[in-house]
Structure 1
Amino acid sequence: MAGNSLISTIQYVAGTRPSFLLSEIVQYLDAPMPVDEIYRAIAPELPRLGLMATRREGDVEIKKIPPAQPLFPGNGERERTSIFLEKRELPPVLATAIEEYITKKVGKPWDDPVTVERLRKAITAQKDDYWKPLHQRSLRYTKGYSVLGYLAYHFPVYFMQTEHLLLRLFEEGFLKKSMTILDVGTGPGVVPLAIADFFSRLDGGKASVYAIEQSEEHIEAFLYLRDAFVPRGGPVSVKPPKKADIRDPLPAGLPERFDLIVFSNVLGELADRSGDPRAGIVGRFAERLARDGAILVVEPADEVNSTRMRTLAAGLEPAGLTVHAPCPLFRGTACKAPRCWSFATAPAIRPTRLMGTLARCDESYRYINTDIKYSYAVLQRAAVRRDGFRLLSPAKFLQLSKLHLHEGKRVNTIVAKMSGELGDAKTHLFKVCDGTAKAPVYAVLPAFHKTAENEALLSAGYGSVLELLGVLVRHNKAHDAWNLLVNRNTEVRGPDRHGE
């Protein structure tokens, strides 16, 4: 790594002019250095500093990396994406490729009774292992029928889940016209294949997708499915995975910077008795993040994994990372995630033919995996207000951190809806947040109090900002949480975009 004084000098000069030659900074150094020596010392740090280098006749020009142009959804792209998602099914070409890969690996038809029964046993073993205490899990999916069971049971729903997440990133401005992407712990390639499929419906945009995976069996499946599904010469180039353990230093041959780094259903599997390595892993990969890039962390929606992921995301602030989505930033403060169980949902997918075959038995429910529920966080280096929403009149709305001062009173507040339905048909329940809460807060709407004026609480999407006007503050002592009771006199509406 280059010396701190040299890097400080480069940063200082870069901040005073749009470009400069390395020969020009020699005068600022304590001891003269040849241009080539300066360049060799600083080259590994340039992407992190948002700088790029170009050789100029015996010298090196340094200038700022121009920001990549964001992708914004057009009507045609929205329509094509909506049509695809409304089908709620794995692309047929990919579903067939999975069947053919299983046939190739076992040497028998994928629907042979022996093959089907072994797949059932692998799936049952994986599910039983998942619900063990965290430090006792051995979730590896790395060889034999464990990989094939993953393809049959987990792959379809995770693929469609990733498509929904990519749509969120697209609509919120996190995708760019030209992207370099890294999928960390890729498994059989769920995320890279979903990216290739998603970009195929866009009018513009291209991506180079890299991946890291330690299992040779997963890498074999990845390459087979990629070759069967991703067209050559398309807008997305999916590179062969680098074989490595994500806990080790990054393997050679990866780009110096990435516009998007994805950790999908991988960090939650890394706890052991010796400690929690997750923050260190994310922080290390973040060193390769472009200055305007994003990190996407995705975990299952169950309470243990979801709350651990939220705690991880909130705790990455010392590494210079701030949560940008889905958490609200309109009060200008980063949420500290107090016991935060928050997750998004999407319509269930249709079972694949392979799932249907596995389910032809006495306990069919064990082999159908169609529900999409997930927790996610998008992290970036700088704090910006999501969606451009600014709360210009904060005094009009009570901060959730001050609910204890208004127990038993009706108040006006502004929140983000941070869960799907947590209640039932009689009592609707949703987690809400404004970034200031010191304990979990829920909006509660008894079904008999539903009106046209408060229906927005039910219809608003995950992450939507809502004004709650006239809610009753109650403390749930048993769970140390706060409830905001919505009744027929409460108005729930989207915010005035001017905050007035």
Structure 2
Amino acid sequence: MYERLGQRFRQIMAAQQFLSTIKYVAGTKPSFQLSEIAAYLEEPLTIGQMYAALQPHLDGLGLGAQKTGEDYTISRLLPSLPYILNAAEEKRLEAYLSLSSLPSILEAAIEQYITGKTGKDWSDPILLERLRRAIVAQKDDYWKPADKRSLHYTKGYAVLGYLAYHFPVYFMQARHMLAQLAREGLLKQEMTILDLGTGPGVIPLAIDDFWMCLDTARATVHSVERSKENIEAFGALARSVATNNPQVTLKLPREADITSPGNVSLPDLIDLMVFSNVLNELAGLPVAARADIVMNYTERLAPDGTILIIEPAEEATSTGLRVLALALKKRGLSIYAPCTFVWGTNCTPDRCWSFQTAPSLRPTRIMNTLAACNEPFRYVNTDIKYSYVMLRKDGKVRTSCHIPKGTKTLRLSKIHLNVGKRVTVVAAKMSEDLGNAETHIFRLCDGSAEKPVFAVLPAFHIMPSNRDLGSAPYGTVLEIRNVLVRYNPAHDAYNLLVSRNTQIMPTP
């Protein structure tokens, strides 16, 4: 026993000496060969052994490795400058986001693919009926309890139904998320992007389309997909719609299951990693297992890279994303957006139903044709509502807001002790308007609440002093002064009643 402990101790000391040596040499040279390290070591190691020991620590040390013959060149990574939009790009982006239709070339490509795949014109009545059945089956499956779902959009009419019903909405969601990344300085001049569970290529095709708004940024887009039919659809659509923009390179997907990619070759130093509408399909797995899947890929994330997870806005799925995000935060990632932990505490996400909205999509020709039946509502999918989280491993957050000790600001975790009182809170606006024209309702969160909290603003109480509640973008941290606390037993939630005497302003 003591011999084993001694051996283990020597191994730990050797590993520490090795990493210390790497740090020392990296501090004296911008680049060096890994073989140079051997001369410093008491215990001899081969090049392969040294690389295996170093590879998990490269990001943390701010180093990159490039294979050079039988050796490796180790280099210090220079910080990547964010891609900052200029005035012309901002104007172009504004016009781009105002478009409510799927790009006509992409709409036509989907129609052509369905026609070519089935051997019938996409508007053929028999084909339309099969698409209807596929869409209804997918929707029925989605609404089953999580452990009863199958959610396989992987072959036959399941893929074609996905293209007709889900693809357009997910494409438009991606537009808005890419615009947000651009405006927040999370894109770079040279981007390596990995889309995990790409399906028929929503994210890569959206990137190819979006990059036309940018003057000089470049992107290479990799993806992983398990379904051969989705990969086939991806290839067909990409050939039809890819812009031939030299700024974007779309790589064909690697065929693999994202839960166990095996030996599939994936890029290192990924600047943007995307899980779009895919992790919810693993709802049968516990949260810890889904967090493991995400964390398994983070060693490939660049030190200043971003992980983007997008999910549907449906309550159970949206709430599940918040639970997953907190699990990933506890594993060491930081939540960049949309959440702000005002008090530096972890939240209670079990009832956190929070989502973003955008202007609706104009129905495609296929949707309108499918809707020419007795139940048209089943086949038109135009609402742009989605939940998302952006994660980092460098600790960066969009809004850093911490309340100094001694300030008279109420934590939402203490709201139950203040029913009937007027209070001041600092919290993020975590919904669009959930009310109506008479009464405006917005979800609030400061990262401490144990039960849902809503700001309630009757229309006749709207004043310049409280108007920011409605106009502030999703995720904005607001200081809200002089609001009355009420408990809502019907929903086991708390309301902050905003009146004409309430002052609301974004925090600095």
Structure-1-length-normalised TM-score = 0.91
Q: Is residue 232 of structure 1 aligned with residue 240 of structure 2?
A: no
CA distance in 2, matches of 1:194, 1:149: 19
State whether structure 2 residue 406 is matched by structure 1 residue 398. Answer: no
How far apart in 2 are the matches of 1:58 and 1:281? Answer: 32
Aligned AA (1:227): R
Q: In 2, Cα distance between the equivalents of 1:464 and 1:290?
A: 27
* Aligned partner of residue 351 in structure 2, secondary structure: coil
1:462 correspondence with 2:482: no
Q: CA deviation at 1:426?
A: 2.7
Equivalent residue for 2:20?
A: 12
- Tell me the SS of whatever aligns to 1:345: strand
Residue 349 of structure 2 aligns to a residue whose secondary structure is coil
Aligned partner (choices 209, 229, 254) of residue 197 of structure 1: 209
**CA gap 1:364/1:379 in 2 versus in 1, 3 angstroms:** same
> Is the partner of 2:426 in helix, strand or coil?
strand
Query: Does the CA contact (< 8 Å) of 1:420 and 1:462 recur in 2?
Result: yes
Match of 1:171 in 2: 183
1:375 aligns with 2:384: no
Residues 384 and 305 from structure 1, CA distance in 2 versus in 1: closer, same or farther, beyond 3 angstroms? same
Say whether the 8 Å CA contact 1:338–1:439 is kept in structure 2: no
Deviations 1:65-107 (A, max 9, x none): 1122211222211211221221211111111100110110011
Deviations 1:163-218 (A, max 9, x none): 00111111222211111111111100001111111112111211111111111111
Is the alpha carbon distance of 1:467 and 1:106 closer, same or farther for their aligned partners in structure 2, counting shifts above 3 Å?
same
Q: Secondary structure at the match of 2:133?
A: helix
1:116 aligns with 2:128: yes
Select 2:103's aligned residue among 65, 69, 91.
91
Task: Count how many residue pairs are aligned between Structure 1 and Structure 2.
Answer: 494
Distance 1:65 1:429, change over 3 A: same
Counterpart of 2:273 in structure 1 is 261
Cα deviation for residue 9 of structure 1 reads 4.0
Q: Is the 8 A contact 1:172 1:387 kept in 2?
A: no
Summarize the Cα distance change of 1:438–1:362 in structure 2 as closer, same or farther, 3 Å threshold: same
Q: Which amino acid aligns with 1:12?
A: S
- Shift in CA distance, 101/424, structure 1 to aligned 2, threshold 3 Å: same
Equivalent residue for 1:271?
283
Measure how far apart 1:231 and its partner are.
2.8
Stretch moving more, 420-429 or 472-481 = 472-481
Q: 1:438 to 1:388 in 2, by over 3 A?
A: closer
2:427 matched to 1:434? no
2:196–2:275 contact (8 Å) kept in structure 1:
yes
Alpha-carbon distance, 1:143 to partner: 1.0
TM-score by length of 2: 0.90
Structure 2 Cα separation of the partners of residues 394 and 207 of structure 1: 48
In structure 2, C-alpha distance between the alignment counterparts of 1:55 and 1:343, rounded to whole Å: 44
Letter in 2 for 1:351: P
The residue correspondences of 1:37-436 to structure 2 (distance < 5 A) are 38-39=50-51, 41-43=53-55, 46-47=58-59, 49-53=61-65, 62-272=74-284, 277-387=289-399, 395-436=407-448
Structure 2: how far apart are the matches of 1:85 and 1:278?
32
The structural deviation recorded for 1:439 is 2.4
Task: Determine helix, strand or coil for the equivalent of 1:69.
Answer: coil
Kindly state the Cα deviation for residue 266 of structure 1 after the two structures are TM-superposed.
Answer: 0.6
Counterpart code for 1:234: P
Q: CA deviation at 1:41?
A: 4.8
Residues in 2 aligned to 1:430 and 1:245: alpha-carbon distance in whole angstroms? 39
How far residue 26 of structure 1 moved from its aligned partner, in angstroms, is: 4.0
Query: C-alpha root-mean-square deviation of aligned residues, in Å?
Result: 2.6
Cα distance in 1 for partners of 2:219, 2:285 equals 39
Separation in structure 2 between the aligned mates of residue 412 and residue 232 of structure 1, nearest angstrom:
54
Shift of 1:5: 5.3
Which of 436, 439, 451 aligns to 2:463? It is: 451
